[in-house]
Amino acid sequence: MIAAFNHRSFAVAFLALFALAACAETEFLVHTAKSVRSVKSPAPVGDYKVGKPYHIKGQWYYPAENFQYTETGIASWYGPNFHGKSTANGEIFDQNLITAAHRTLPLPSAVRVTNLENGRTITLRVNDRGPFARGRIIDVSRRGAQLLGFEKNGTAKVRVEILPDDSRRLKLAALNRNGGAADQPQIASSPRQVVVATPLPNSGQPVQTAANTAAARAKPAQPRGAVEIPVLSEKVEILPVSPTGIFVQTGAFSKLENALRMRDRVFALGPTKISRFRIAGTELYRVRIGPLQTVALADTTLSQVTGAGVQDARLIVE
């Protein structure tokens, strides 16, 4: 009896240990699978959104598809306070992914951001609206700021350029629901005929009839494949660095007399000058205050200019 009891007890204990080990292994595999997915899977693409004009803090913004967009200015970054919250196009913001917020570009789209202070340049996916602080042209994620080298400073002089091809692929993926099958018309193919082989006399080799040969040549239409979510490069490149300055641009005018009036209006706020340039064959006169040595001084000057009633003033890096 004792031997039988010990034998049964040993069997029960062995099965319990086996079950615990299996559970632990299963949990480990699930955790590993999640880790692999978080690293290997492309970032989800939310809804495609351009949006209507909107008004924030006395400023109007006009979202549009602009595949020629390029701009210089000041970048900032955002992270912990928004981590895990929804972005403007329905994604979940992850401060550890390389994403960005922009006021007018389509969501999602792809941009190249270059830090003009150290030459570091990366590609980011724009999936949110912002920044809404004056004097900023783009908000990048915390990871983006780390790769661009300005997480500690908080801001940097940057150039932002849209990547047309990548942006169009992101648009297509978003319109087709995160890489689902594209909504393409399906063309019905002709039914296949059964090929009947007829042996030749004394040869043993099959032969096809003319009708069956024509049917074999007629290939059915291939269905369109699924739209894959583009995976943007996370490579950091280093470009040559040239000296730059920060300016407050108070306006651009087609008539010199209007530029002169603006210069006189803001002259007391800093070193002001008028420069002439051409755009699309039209000669314009722009009024700028600067160069200003720091972002803090540029922000203060911009605030003074907008406080004086020049609501369209903005920061330019050149």
Residue at 42 is within a domain: no
Q: Are residues 163 and 58 in the same domain?
A: yes
CA distance 171 to 227: 11
Q: What is the pLDDT of residues 33-68, one digit of tens each?
A: 333 333 333 556 789 999 999 999 888 999 999 999
Q: What is the pLDDT of residues 230-257, one digit of tens each?
A: 788 889 999 999 999 999 999 999 999 9
Quick one: DSSP state of residue 184?
A: -
Closest CA to 144 of 102, 89, 91: 102
CB atoms within 10 A of CB 304: 17
For the cut 80, the answer to whether the pLDDT of residue 127 exceeds it is yes
Model pLDDT, residue 230: 77
**Is the alpha carbon torsion for 27, 29, 30, 35 positive or negative?**
positive
- Domain of 260 in residue numbering reads as 246-317
Residue at 8 is within a domain: no
Last residue of a domain, one of 238, 255, 283: 238
Q: Are residues 68 and 167 in the same domain?
A: yes
Q: Which residues contact 289 (CB under 8 A, 6 or more apart)?
A: 247, 248, 250, 266, 269, 270, 271, 272, 301, 305
pTM greater than 0.75 (yes/no): no
Residue at 282 is within a domain: yes
Number of helical (H) and strand (E) elements in the chain, helices listed first: 6, 13
Last residue of a domain, one of 205, 238, 271: 238
HSE-up of 33 (CA within 13 Å, CB side)?
6
CATH value at residue 144: 2.40.40.10
Residue at 149 is within a domain: yes
Residue at 23 is within a domain: no
Q: Cα 302 from chain centroid?
A: 29
Q: What is the pLDDT of residues 131-169, one digit of tens each?
A: 999 899 999 999 999 999 999 999 999 999 999 999 999
CATH value at residue 273: 3.30.70.1070
Q: Are residues 58 and 152 in the same domain?
A: yes
Q: Which residues contact 42 (CB under 8 A, 6 or more apart)?
A: 228, 229, 230, 231
Q: Are residues 162 and 250 in the same domain?
A: no
Number of domains in the chain: 2
Residue at 22 is within a domain: no
Quick one: DSSP state of residue 134?
A: T
pLDDT category at 118 given cuts 50, 70, 90 is very high
CA distance 67 to 163: 7
Closest CA to 126 of 145, 147, 149, 103: 103
Residue at 10 is within a domain: no
Q: What is the pLDDT of residues 162-171, one digit of tens each?
A: 999 999 999 9
Residue at 14 is within a domain: no
Instruction: Return the higher-pLDDT residue of 208 and 106.
Output: 106
Q: Are residues 164 and 262 in the same domain?
A: no
**Is the alpha carbon torsion for 128, 134, 139, 142 positive or negative?**
negative
Q: Give the residue-averaged pLDDT of 292-300.
A: 96
Last residue of a domain, one of 200, 219, 238: 238
